[in-house]
Amino acid sequence: LTSKLPDVGTSIFSVMTQLAQEHEAINLAQGFPDYDPPRPLLEALARHVLTPGHQQYAPMPGLPRLREAISHQTALRYGYTPDPATEITVTSGATEGLYAVMAAVVRPGDEVLLLEPAYDLYAPAVRLQGGVPVYVPLAAPNFRPDWDRVAAALSPRTRLVLINSPHNPTGAVLSAADLDTLAGLLRDTDALLLSDEVYEHMVFDGAAHNSVSAHPELRARAFVLSSFGKTYHATGWKVGYCLAPPALTAELRRVHQFITFSVSTPTQHALADVLPDAALYESLPAFYQQKRDLLRELLAPTGFELLPSGGGYFQVASFKNLAPGLDDVTFSRRLTQESGVAVVPLSAFYHNGHDAQLVRFCFAKTEATLRAAAARLVDLK
């Protein structure tokens, strides 16, 4: 059998998690919380698991009551009320949503513009459709898009532009002006937009999340993805959703129905129960900012040099003073094996293995975990 993705190994998140387990290292590599979802959500799930009639297939686009709750929350947060019938699709995590969007719109030879570093599934999902990823670099330390380079990379073959704010792995966030600039660039093109907003509730330092959902011009050509896994500390539930105008949603659902058909029923009921409680997600910016600040404070005395992190789950750090000349994959392995702290090498987010001696720490961890990890790193100088 000839592989369709011969150059792709196992996802770096699985690799580092396995290495962490083998060496009993503290896992600050894979992005998942080491604390549980809010109690009311767990109780709601228990209730629905015990409710006769809630254990069979949900409707293909998602439970109506969950789509209605998503519509209502979107209206409150972004001033736009997507139609639950034609503009909201519940997906098996943002992962399935991303894949379904690519499968729905990318044809062989179509170009998909990715800002790099990029989340690891984007490029393989494009290539599996016969699409061609076109990479525009984001430059350290701020990893802000250079819109002139984006403009230069657009072509008549550009089918899709992918943005991700707050950004994995860098924590960069897009401003309202960024979205306006992008709208101007796309105005006279046929390109669609895919906006990965799974970290929408984690923006720090008083800044707002600038959602494509709140931008009428952009959202008219956009798929906007979110993940309940991130919002409710329930990454293992694998439930997310995609907002898109009716014509785009229709194409998405054509594919979604044949990837997974529908998403698990009791989890959707449980999420529909708690979604109206805005306090649960309104607390997230402060909750995660505190974790970011703690990790930064704990790493400050070490030889790591910290880059900015404006949102999301992640803190990028340079190890150039700790291990001059060492590549980031070797450094990450050694840190896991010898210091007992697992991180992700940033080269994993680049198609050509670009290595700037940077690693990613996940701070979606309890204070005790972050302190224990830092205690293992203090002697690194």
82 binds, among ligand GLN, ligand PMP, none (CB under 5 to 8 A by kind): none
Closest residue to ligand PMP, Cβ-based?
Answer: 93
**Taking the complex as a whole, how short is the minimal distance between the CB of residue 17 and ligand GLN, in angstroms?**
8
Distances (CA, A) of 153 to 67, 137, 161: 36, 11, 10
Among positions 33, 82, 84, 93, the unique one binding ligand PMP when judged by CB under 6 A: 93
Mask 148-177, x = binds ligand GLN (CB under 6 A)?
Answer: --------------------x---------
Quick one: tokens of 304? 């790591």
Mask 190-209, x = binds ligand PMP (CB under 6 A)?
Answer: ------x-x-----------
53: phi then psi, degrees, rounded to nearest 5: 95, -5
Length of the chain: 381
**Taking the complex as a whole, how short is the minimal distance between the CB of residue 362 and ligand PMP, in angstroms?**
10
30 binds, among ligand PMP, ligand GLN, none (CB under 5 to 8 A by kind): ligand GLN
Instruction: Name the residue nearer to ligand PMP (CB basis): 199 or 374.
Output: 199
Helix (H) or strand (E) holding 318: strand 314-318
Stretch that binds ligand PMP, among 93-101, 183-191, 253-261, 345-353 (CB under 6 A): 93-101
Contact 133, 123 (CB under 8 A): yes
Contact 93, 105 (CB under 8 A): no
Give dist(CA 207, CA 201) in Å, integer.
11
Residue 97 lies near ligand GLN (rule: CB under 6 A):
no
Residue 30 lies near ligand GLN (rule: CB under 6 A):
yes
Question: Long-range pairs for 124-128 at CB < 8 Å and ≥24 separation?
Answer: 124/5, 124/8, 125/98, 125/99, 126/102, 127/4, 127/5, 128/4, 128/5, 128/102, 128/103
Among positions 27, 31, 172, 335, the unique one binding ligand PMP when judged by CB under 6 A: 31
What are the DSSP calls for 18-48, one per residue?
Answer: HHHHHTT-EE-SS---SSPPPHHHHHHHHHH
Residues that bind ligand PMP (CB under 6 A): 31, 93-95, 119, 164, 168, 196, 198, 227, 229, 235, 238, 240
